[in-house]
Amino acid sequence: LLAPFLDRLITDDLHERFTSSAALRFFEDILSQLSPAQLSIPPPPSPSHYTPWEPAKYNRWRGLPEDFLKQWAHFRAPLPLMYTKVLRHICLTLWGIRCVRAIRHFKRVILRIRQFAQERRR
């Protein structure tokens, strides 16, 4: 029953992501609505191969009651964009992480140079 909470914590959309205070409020609210019987239900077993960005392999929402799914559907994280999937796949390797870091560093340097040039023109 933590699917909406977890999806809102890890969503790629930063504007939709919980802040720490909002997460605590949400968690306390949902916890107060659960019965002792619901709290005693064990979580489903972990899949043998867990890849968090591949919802086809692991779905936090699988097996939940239909009324619960409807109630919390707006909290469900959207599928990641192809760009995000490719970037995550690249970052699984040490080489990929280094390349992404170098590209980000290069981009920051270019943006600083551009900003400096614009300020000098004023």
Residue 12 token pair:
């790629």
**DSSP-derived 3-state class of residue 47:** coil
Do the Cβ atoms of 75 and 13 come closer than 8 Å? no
pLDDT of residue 84: 85
Q: Which of the two residues, 47 and 14, has the higher pLDDT score?
A: 14
Domain boundaries, the chain: 3-46+62-78, 83-121
pLDDT digits (tens, 9 = 90+) for 24-81: 999 999 888 888 888 888 876 666 665 655 655 667 888 888 888 899 899 888 888 8
pLDDT digits (tens, 9 = 90+) for 91-118: 889 999 999 999 999 999 999 999 999 9
Rounded Cα gap, residues 70 and 62, in angstroms:
13
Burial class (CB in 10 A: 0-12, 13-18, 19+), 77: buried
Answer yes or no: pTM beyond 0.75: no
